C-alpha cells in the first residue's frame, strides 16, 4: 500500500494499533482516541507516525464507540484497515482479532516484523518506531519491547529482568508484588515481534491474572519459556510513551507536543515571544523570520509568510498570511491576507475574505466572502459581506454592506479609489463606480456612477432658538444663552 522502500531500509510488515478500549477514565461520549491534541485526534497522531515508517499494512483494532473511530480512520487514513474486537478481553486478545481480520482478508503476514502500538500514545515519533524495529532485526530477537525508565512508574507494566539483565516477563501494576512495584523500567506498550513467535504465543495466552484478560505482555514470558530470545530496548525520550487515560494527561501531552512543534519552528528561524502560549498545529507553515506573539494559534491549514507578525491574541484557521503582514488580536477563518496588509485589533475575517497587498482591515470590522483590493482600507467598525472592493478605496467608519434582504444574499461592487463616507449603508445589489464618493450617513440603494457622489439622506434643517423655547432654564439653554452673549 505504500511505496517500496530502499533495500537497506527495515520496515514493519504490519503495525497493529490498539484502540478498542473503553477509555472510561476520560468520562466522555467521544471515543478516547478521537480526543484531539492540537487539532488532530490522538489516533491521528499515532497513525501519522506509524505510516511514516512505511509499513506494508496497518490495522487499527476498534471496539468501543467503533462507528466513530472507523469513520475517522476511513476518512483520514483510507489506506489503514480496521478490525473489530467485540469484547475487550485484553491487549493480547485485541492483537489476535487484528491477525484474524487480516487472515480473513487473505493477507499473509510474511516474515517481516509485526509491531504493536497503542492508539493513545500521541507523542510517539517515527524515529522511535524505526529505531525499535531496526534494533529488533539487528539483535535477532523474537520479541523486542520498547521500555523507559520513569520516575513515577505507577500504573505501567514493569520489566522484570534476570540477574544477567535478560527480560523474564512484564508484570502489570495490578499483578505486581511489592518488590516488583519498585521497578522503574516500564513497558511502553510498543513491541516488535517475529510473526511466528507472536501467532504461536497469542494462541497460548490465559486470563489467569487480576483483570481476567489476555495480556499481550504475557507473550514475552511465553517466548522466553520456549527458549526464544526476548529483548528490551530503552527509548531515548520517556515523554513519547505517555499513554493518555484521562483529561489531565491529555492536557500534559498537548503541552509537550506544543513545545516540540514550537522548538522545531524556532530552530527553523521563527521567533516566538512566548512559546508556552503559542499553539501551532502540525502542518501549519511558518516561514523563517515570521514572528508569533503571545496567546496565538495557527491551525494546520494556515501559513504565515516571512516577517509577518501574528498576535498577540490571534487565531488563524485555514488562513494564509503573506510576507510582512500584521494580524493583531483577531480571529481569521478561511482568509487570504496578502503581503504587508494589516488586520486588527479586534477584527473578524470569515471564509472567503481576501485582503490585498498593503490593504487594511481595522478595529471591530467583520468581513465575509469579500475581496478588498490592494491598498484599500476598511479601518473601523464595519461589516463587509459579499463585496468586491477595488484598489486604493477607503470605506468610512461604521459602513455597513447590507447584503441580506431577509431571504437572499446580494453582492456589492466598489470600484478603485472610491471614498465611502462614514456610516454609509450600501444596500446590495449596488455598484459604486471608480473614483466615486458617498456622503457620510447615506443609505445607498442605487448605483453611483464613476466620479459621482451619492447622497442618500435628508438635508439638515436648523430650528433657531428651539432649546430656549422648549427647555428654558436648563444647562443647555444657559450655555446657548452665554454663547449668544459672546457672539
Shortest separation between residue 67's beta carbon and ligand UD1, angstroms: 16
Residue 405: all three cell numbers together: 434582504
- Tell which phi-psi region holds residue 26, choosing left (phi > 0), alpha (psi between -120 and 50) or beta: alpha
Interaction partner, residue 375 (Ca ion, ligand UD1, none; CB < 5-8 Å by kind): none
Cα separations (Å) of 46 from 64, 120, 156, 235? 18, 8, 19, 16
| Residue nearer to ligand UD1 on the CB measure, 143 or 270 | 143
Identified binder of ligand UD1 from the candidate list 14, 16, 18, 115, rule CB under 6 A? 18
Q: How far is the CB of 356 from Ca ion (least distance, A)?
A: 51
- Give residue number: closest CB to ligand UD1: 157
Give 147's strand partners.
187, 234
Binding mask 119-138 for ligand UD1 (x = CB under 6 A): xx------------------
Q: Is residue 174 helix, strand or coil?
A: helix
- The partner in contact with residue 306, picked from ligand UD1, Ca ion, none with C-beta cut-offs of 5 to 8 angstroms by kind, is none
Do the Cβ atoms of 100 and 50 come closer than 8 Å?
A: no
Taking the mean position of all CA atoms in its chain, how far away is CA 284?
9
Beta bridge partners of 412: 387, 430
Calpha distance 70→93 (Å, rounded):
19
Is 380 catalytic? The answer is: yes
Measured from the CB atom, the residue of 90 and 396 that comes closer to ligand UD1 is 90
61-120: contacts with ligand UD1 (CB under 6 A): 61, 85, 88-91, 93-94, 118-120
Of 215 and 279, the one with the shorter C-beta distance to ligand UD1 is: 215
Query: How far, CA to CA in Å, does 366 sit from each of 31, 313, 346, 348, 399?
Result: 36, 17, 9, 5, 11
Residue 187 within binding range of ligand UD1, rule CB under 6 A? yes
Closer CB to ligand UD1, 150 or 452, in the complex: 150
> Any contact of residue 28 with ligand UD1 (CB under 6 A)?
no
Measured at the CA of 358, the angle between CA 402 and CA 452, to 5 degrees, comes to 50
Nearest residue to 14 via CA among 89, 100, 73, 87: 100
Q: Applying CB under 6 A, does 215 fall inside the site for ligand UD1?
A: yes
> Rule CB under 6 A: is residue 191 a binding residue for ligand UD1?
no
235 is a contact residue toward ligand UD1 (CB under 6 A): no
Q: Cell digits for 55?
A: 509499513
| Minimum distance, C-beta of residue 168 to ligand UD1, in the bound complex (Å) | 14
- The stretch near ligand UD1 (CB under 6 A) out of 124-132, 180-188, 200-208, 361-369 is 180-188
Give the list of residues 6+ apart from residue 336 with CB closer than 8 angstroms, or none. 319, 320, 353, 354, 355
145, containing H or E segment:
strand 143-149
Residue 245 or 422 with smaller CB distance to ligand UD1: 245
User: Looking at beta carbons only, is 243 or 318 nearer to Ca ion?
Assistant: 243
Instruction: Select from 184, 172, 167, 166 the least CA-distant residue to 217.
Output: 172
Residue 169 host element (H or E): strand 167-171
Selecting among 64, 265, 326, 380, the annotated active-site residue is 380
Our CB check for ligand UD1 shows the closer of 183 and 480 to be 183
Q: Is the dihedral of CA 154, 158, 162, 167 positive or negative?
A: negative
Cα–Cα distance measured from residue 287 to residue 270, given in angstroms and rounded to the nearest whole number:
7
Residue 235 partner contact from ligand UD1, Ca ion, none using kind-dependent CB cut-offs of 5 to 8 Å = none
What are 190's strand-pairing partners?
none
Partner interacting with residue 217 (select from Ca ion, ligand UD1, none; CB below 5-8 Å by kind): ligand UD1
The string of DSSP letters for 330-356 reads EEEESEEE-TT-EE-SSEEE-TTEEE-
Report the phi/psi class of residue 91: left, alpha or beta, with left for phi > 0 and alpha for psi in -120 to 50.
alpha
Give the residue at shortest CB distance from Ca ion. Answer: 243
| Chain residues in the site for Ca ion (CB under 5 A) | 243
Cell numbers for 453: 457622489
Q: Which cell is 271 given?
A: 521567533
Site string for ligand UD1, 422-461 (x = CB under 6 A): ----------------------------------------
Q: Is 20 in the site for ligand UD1 (CB under 6 A)?
A: yes
Q: How many chain residues interact with ligand UD1 (CB under 6 A)?
A: 27
Count of Cβ atoms closer than 10 Å to residue 9 Cβ: 11
In the numeric block, which cell numbers belong to residue 313? 491574541
Please, what is the minimum distance in Å from the beta carbon of residue 241 to ligand UD1?
Answer: 7
What does 91 interact with, of Ca ion, ligand UD1, none (CB < 5 to 8 A by kind)? ligand UD1
Q: How far is the CB of 117 from ligand UD1 (least distance, A)?
A: 9
- Of these partners, ligand UD1, Ca ion, none, which one is at the site of residue 186 (CB under 5 to 8 Å by kind)? ligand UD1
Residues at the contact surface with ligand UD1, assessed by CB under 6 A: 18-21, 61, 85, 88-91, 93-94, 118-120, 156-157, 170, 172, 186-189, 215-217, 243
Catalytic positions are: 380
Amino acid at each position: 500500500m505504500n511505496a517500496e522502500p530502499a533495500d537497506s531500509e527495515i520496515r514493519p510488515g504490519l503495525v497493529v494499533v490498539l484502540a478498542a478500549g473503553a477509555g472510561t477514565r476520560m468520562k466522555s461520549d467521544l471515543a478516547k482516541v478521537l480526543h484531539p491534541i492540537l487539532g488532530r485526534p490522538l489516533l491521528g497522531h499515532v497513525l501519522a507516525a506509524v505510516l511514516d515508517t512505511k509499513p506494508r499494512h496497518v490495522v487499527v483494532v476498534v471496539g468501543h464507540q467503533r462507528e466513530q473511530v472507523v469513520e475517522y480512520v476511513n476518512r483520514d487514513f483510507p489506506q489503514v484497515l480496521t478490525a473489530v474486537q467485540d469484547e475487550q478481553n485484553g491487549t493480547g486478545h485485541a492483537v489476535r482479532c487484528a491477525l484474524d481480520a487480516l487472515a480473513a482478508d487473505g493477507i499473509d503476514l510474511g516474515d517481516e516484523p509485526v509491531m504493536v502500538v497503542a492508539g493513545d500514545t500521541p507523542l510517539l515519533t517515527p524515529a522511535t518506531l524505526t529505531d525499535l524495529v531496526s534494533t529488533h532485526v539487528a539483535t535477532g530477537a523474537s520479541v523486542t519491547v520498547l521500555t523507559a525508565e520513569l520516575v513515577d512508574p505507577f500504573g505501567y507494566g514493569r520489566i522484570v529482568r534476570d540477574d544477567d539483565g535478560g527480560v523474564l516477563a512484564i508484570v502489570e501494576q495490578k499483578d505486581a508484588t511489592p518488590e516488583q512495584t519498585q521497578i522503574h523500567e516500564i513497558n511502553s506498550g510498543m513491541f516488535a515481534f517475529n510473526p511466528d513467535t507472536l501467532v504461536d504465543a497469542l494462541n497460548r495466552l490465559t486470563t489467569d491474572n487480576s483483570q481476567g484478560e489476555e495480556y499481550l505482555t504475557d507473550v514475552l514470558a511465553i517466548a522466553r519459556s520456549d527458549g526464544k530470545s526476548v529483548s528490551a530496548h530503552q527509548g531515548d525520550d520517556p515523554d513519547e510513551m505517555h499513554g493518555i487515560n484521562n483529561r489531565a494527561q491529555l492536557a500534559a501531552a498537548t503541552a509537550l507536543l506544543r513545545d516540540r512543534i514550537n522548538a522545531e519552528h524556532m530552530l527553523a528561524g521563527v521567533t516566538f515571544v512566548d512559546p508556552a502560549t503559542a499553539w501551532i498545529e502540525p502542518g501549519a507553515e511558518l516561514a523563517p523570520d515570521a514572528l508569533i506573539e503571545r496567546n496565538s494559534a495557527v491551525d494546520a491549514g494556515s501559513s504565515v509568510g516571512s516577517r509577518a507578525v501574528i498576535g498577540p491574541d490571534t487565531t488563524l484557521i485555514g488562513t494564509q498570511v503573506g510576507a510582512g503582514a500584521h494580524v493583531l488580536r483577531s480571529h481569521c477563518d478561511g482568509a487570504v491576507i496578502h503581503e504587508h496588509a494589516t488586520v486588527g485589533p479586534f477584527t473578524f475575517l470569515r471564509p472567503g475574505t481576501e485582503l490585498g497587498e498593503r490593504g487594511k482591515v481595522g478595529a471591530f470590522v467583520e468581513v465575509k466572502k469579500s475581496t478588498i483590493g490592494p491598498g484599500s482600507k476598511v479601518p473601523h467598525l464595519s461589516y463587509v459581506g459579499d463585496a468586491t472592493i477595488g484598489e486604493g478605496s477607503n470605506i468610512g467608519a461604521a459602513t455597513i454592506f447590507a447584503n441580506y434582504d431577509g431571504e437572499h444574499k446580494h453582492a456589492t461592487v466598489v470600484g478603485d479609489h472610491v471614498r465611502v463616507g462614514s456610516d454609509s449603508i450600501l444596500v446590495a445589489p449596488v455598484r459604486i463606480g471608480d473614483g466615486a464618493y458617498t456622503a457620510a450617513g447615506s443609505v445607498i440603494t442605487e448605483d453611483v456612477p464613476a466620479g459621482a457622489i451619492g447622497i442618500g439622506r435628508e438635508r439638515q434643517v436648523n430650528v433657531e432658538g428651539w432649546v430656549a423655547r422648549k427647555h428654558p432654564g436648563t444647562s443647555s439653554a444657559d450655555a446657548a444663552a452665554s454663547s449668544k452673549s459672546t457672539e
